[in-house]
Amino acid sequence: MKGVPCLLMRGGTSKGAYFRAEDLPADAAERDDLLLRIMGSPDPRQIDGIGGAHPLTSKVAVVSPSTSPGADVDYLFLQLGVAEATVSDRQNCGNLLAGVGPFAVERGLVPAGDGETTVRIRMVNSDSTAVARFPTSGGVVEYAGDTAISGVPGTAAPVVLDFADTAGSTGHGLLPTGHLVDTVDGVPVTCVDNGMPVVVARAADFGLTGYETVEQLKADTALRERIQSLRLRAAELMGLGDVRDSSVPKTTLVAPPVDGGTICTRTFIPLEPHTSIGVLGAVSVATALLLDGAVGHELAKLPGTSRIDVEHPTGHLQVEVEVDAGETPPRVRRSGVVRTARKLFDGTVFPR
Ligand code: NQM
């Protein structure tokens, strides 16, 4: 049986298998078939593979030297289905992104800097750029540090991520429907895409407080059906077509903050409740909140600085977003976030 070199990493609040592109088949269909066998999909338990039986742990990063002059490496993100044999390149992942810079150093794609390393990453899924900054010393990545992120026990070294050109990651602009607010299934929504296409709606419009636990949301089958109907219809308006088999758009239900943050969120990826919230998902929701008249703007306690504190089921995710809201359409000036990442296992993975 032929094995494949693989580095298993936690990136932010997700976990994934990181590969050099040259170690995988060049043909996308062959590559996807191999990755499904590596992860153990389709199977709700992924028992015969290295996937963790949840969308947040069924993820792959494919990294290669960049073909673009403005970047050091190319990062292709692939979301693998758990119970379904699906592989989607239709979304970014800002969490796995946190591990891409360290992976590039581990594999010798980028030399380690003295004290700190900066890696310019082209996010192939959206053709946008992120710059990652993280500590290195003596030529190796330092994973230990004192930065805590909600949803991950303990602390680790910070990975600072700055995004450029993330607005309109699916090619339909920051407000993909062309409107600040649309009504879908009788519910007002703001469809936004600053790195991740998200349908933002008020939890109250679904008869929820917005403070439910993940278990409560998971048990609510009627809610699951409503979310599916909402996202299928919203996706048509967003120019995404039939998204029945796609992991995007996500849906985020918002409510007033309860823990000193800017807004409280419950996110569905796309139907499974997220235990926290995705990075670019949070950046996109935060961007919507900054737009006067958008759904959620009236519920948010905006801080008057660029730091937006997004409450989620397991804590807070702080993102930085600056928008020229006066322009039509609004222009994103800057966005960023601090994450951590950790090398978990380096070796050879054997597909089924
Ligand atoms: O939005 C989950 C995650 C993500 C994606 C998802 C992400 C992002 O928490 O940038 O990180 O939305 O499927 O890793």
Query: Tokens 């710059």 — which residue?
Result: 131
ipTM score of complex: 0.94
Q: Above 90 in pLDDT, residue 144?
A: yes
The reply to whether omega before 270 is within 30° of 0 (cis) is: yes
pLDDT of res. 1:
73
Q: pLDDT digit string (tens) for 208-229?
A: 999 999 999 999 999 999 999 9
Q: pLDDT digit string (tens) for 147-204?
A: 999 999 999 999 999 999 999 999 999 999 999 999 999 999 999 999 999 999 999 9
Q: Quick check: helix, strand or coil at residue 351?
A: coil
Handedness of CA 13, 92, 251, 325 (dihedral sign): positive
Q: pLDDT digit string (tens) for 65-93?
A: 999 999 999 999 999 999 999 999 999 99
Query: Tokens 């890696």 — which residue?
Result: 119
pLDDT of res. 174:
97
Query: Tokens 């499904």 — which residue?
Result: 36
The model's pTM: 0.93
Average pLDDT for residues 242-255, to the nearest whole number? 96
CA–centroid distance, 140 to ligand 1, in Å, is 27
Average pLDDT for residues 99-123, to the nearest whole number? 98
pLDDT of res. 329:
86
Q: Quick check: helix, strand or coil at residue 182?
A: strand
Residue whose CB lies within 8 A of the most ligand 1 atoms, among 14, 15, 321, for a mutation test? 14
Is 250 near ligand 1, meaning CB less than 6 Å away? yes
